Amino acid sequence: MTQSQSSATILVVDDDSGIREALTDILEDEGYAVRSACDGQAALDLLRQQAEPPALVLLDLMMPRMNGWQFRSEQRRDPALANIPVVVISASANIQDQVHALDAAAFIPKPIEFDRLVGVVEQYCS
């Protein structure tokens, strides 16, 4: 674990508690601090309450209340949050073509290959 990893915080946004917990465990094992939210609205609320923004948001797209598309739209409108990079995680087969429209930093398909996840996270958090 490097110093930059130990000081980087990642926000995991996914409505599936099992996925949130698995991602949290893996990323914490890699030395990252992890916060999580069950949907886009909870993520926005959390981001707006934090003094320091996370280094990265891992964002599912299909969620109740506020989905990933709506979250991303709100995030980009808020100057305090707009520059936080977002990595989309989704099981949708056609989503890779739409990642550009989301202005996402990267896309990781579900089921998640954890080596790929850690590699992408390291790109934005080191």
- The structural domain count of the chain equals 1
The pLDDT value recorded for residue 7 is: 72
Q: Which domain holds residue 90?
A: 3-125
| Cβ contact 37:12 at 8 Å | yes
∠ Cα 104 50 40 (to 5°): 45
- Assign residue 50 the CATH number of its domain: 3.40.50.2300
CA 84 to chain centre: 10
pLDDT range class, residue 101, cuts 50, 70, 90: confident
Q: CA–CA separation, 75 vs 48, rounded Å?
A: 10
Q: CA–CA separation, 50 vs 111, rounded Å?
A: 30
Full-model pTM: 0.91
Q: What is the mean pLDDT of residues 26-55?
A: 96
pLDDT range class, residue 85, cuts 50, 70, 90: very high
